[in-house]
């Protein structure tokens, strides 16, 4: 893949985490309070069912359990931990906690994908985390043990889902829309019984609540995850994981525009550091005297 195509793919893929960065604003301003499981379920399941109805393609063979694993990691568990962190932490702090995700991808990629860990990648991870810290942390940012744990677990779920998606690929002949629909549906279905057992359903929904749920499902799940899985099929796992830093960048900008949050010199420096970490993560230096070898893409899994 040429550098120009890689840049275009990265930019399009980054739209997904940029949309996810709006989750914090939508959750706090539009959704019913203290309903992380309901928010997670209504974000995933309707989008998944729409894609299944449109494609009418279902898993076969080994892909039944693979779809279950990926649906739980990429959607069900990740959504729940994301919303739980958003309810218990300021948006910036939640984004900071989840910025450890590329570091987890780096370690899992070495173990499962046999990717070699390079010093520049470690530096990119540290630079990205420092940039997120400058970008989103405030002097009196509140910390909550439940929120921090949820953020860490959410990062671990997303990182594992990224690496396994790269390792398994996509079944031969299955479209991206169907592949995305499987995971969104599985993630939503896994959350349904837990939601009904542990959360009281709201007795009244405002039009703002309905609009918030619709946005998160149609834009934040269906469209964003199609873009995300497309990018994962074309980019190295670590390079794709660094694009998730677009989430705190977007959250910070939205907070500045709509929540009267400040945007000073430290935030600008943090944004520059985040962008720098993404650029570093895309670099793959070739051995001395040899041309760069293109990234090996996993062969499609057969059903």
Residue 10 counted as domain residue: yes
pLDDT score of 192 more than 70: yes
Mapped to the 3 state alphabet, what secondary structure does the chain carry? Answer: CCHHHHHHHHHHHHHHHHHHCCHHHHHHHHCCCCCHHHHHHHHHHHHHHHHHHHHCCCCCCCHHHHHHHHHHHHHHHHHHHHHHHHHHCCHHHHHHHHCCHHHHHHHHHHHHCCCCCCHHHHHHHHHHHHHHHHHHCCCCCCCCHHHHHHHHHHHHHHHHHHHHHHHHCCCCCCCHHHHHHHHHHHHHHHHHHHHHHHCCCCCCCCHHHHHHHHHHHHHHHHHHHHHHHHHHHHCCHHHHHHHHHHHHHHHHHHHHHHCCCCCCHHHHHHHHHHHHHHHHHHCCCCCCCCCCCCCCCCCCCCC
**Tens digit of each residue's pLDDT (9 = 90 or more) over 49-77:** 999 999 999 999 999 999 999 999 999 99
**Tens digit of each residue's pLDDT (9 = 90 or more) over 222-254:** 999 999 999 999 998 888 888 888 887 888 788
Count of domains in the chain? 1
Query: Residues 88, 93, 94, CA angle at the centre, nearest 5°?
Result: 60
The proportion of the chain whose per-residue pLDDT surpasses 70, expressed as a percent, equals 85
Which residue range forms the structural domain that includes residue 204? Answer: 3-282
pLDDT score of 292 more than 60: no
Single out the residue of 261, 241, 264, 242 nearest to residue 251, CA to CA.
261
At 20 the pLDDT is: 85
Tell me how far the alpha carbon of residue 237 is from its chain's centroid. Answer: 12
**Tens digit of each residue's pLDDT (9 = 90 or more) over 73-125:** 999 998 888 777 767 776 566 667 777 888 889 889 888 888 888 888 888 88
Residue 110 counted as domain residue: yes
Residue 45 counted as domain residue: yes
pLDDT score of 280 more than 90: no
Residue 298 counted as domain residue: no
Residue 296 counted as domain residue: no
Residue 141 counted as domain residue: yes
At 301 the pLDDT is: 46
pTM for this model (two decimals): 0.83
Residue 13 counted as domain residue: yes
At 279 the pLDDT is: 79
């Amino acid at each position: 893949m040429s550098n120009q195509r890689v840049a275009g793919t990265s930019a399009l893929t980054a739209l997904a985490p940029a949309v996810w960065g709006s989750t914090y604003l939508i959750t706090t301003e539009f959704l019913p309070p203290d309903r992380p499981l309901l928010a997670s379920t209504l974000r995933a399941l309707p989008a998944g069912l729409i894609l299944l109805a449109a494609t009418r393609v279902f898993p076969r063979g080994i892909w039944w359990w693979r779809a279950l694993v990926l649906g739980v990691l990429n959607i069900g568990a990740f959504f729940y931990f994301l919303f739980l962190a958003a309810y218990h932490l300021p948006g910036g702090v939640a984004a900071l906690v989840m910025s450890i995700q590329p570091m987890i991808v780096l370690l899992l990629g070495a173990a499962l994908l046999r990717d070699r860990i390079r010093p520049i990648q470690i530096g990119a991870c540290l630079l990205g985390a420092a940039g997120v810290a400058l970008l989103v942390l405030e002097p009196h940012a509140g910390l909550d043990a439940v929120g921090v744990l949820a953020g860490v677990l959410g990062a671990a779920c997303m990182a594992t889902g990224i690496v396994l998606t790269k390792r398994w690929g996509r079944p031969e002949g299955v479209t991206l829309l169907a592949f995305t629909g499987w995971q969104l549906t599985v993630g939503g279905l896994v959350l349904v019984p837990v939601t009904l057992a542990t959360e009281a359903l709201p007795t009244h929904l405002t039009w703002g609540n309905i609009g918030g749920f619709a946005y998160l499902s149609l834009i934040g799940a269906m469209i964003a995850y199609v873009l995300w899985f497309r990018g994962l099929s074309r980019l190295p796992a670590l390079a794709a994981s660094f694009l998730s830093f677009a989430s705190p960048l977007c959250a910070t900008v939205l907070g500045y525009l709509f929540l009267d949050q400040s945007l000073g010199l430290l935030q600008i420096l943090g944004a520059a550091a985040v962008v720098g970490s993404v650029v570093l993560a895309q670099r793959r230096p070739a051995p001395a005297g040899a041309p760069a070898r293109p990234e090996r893409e996993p062969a499609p899994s057969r059903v």
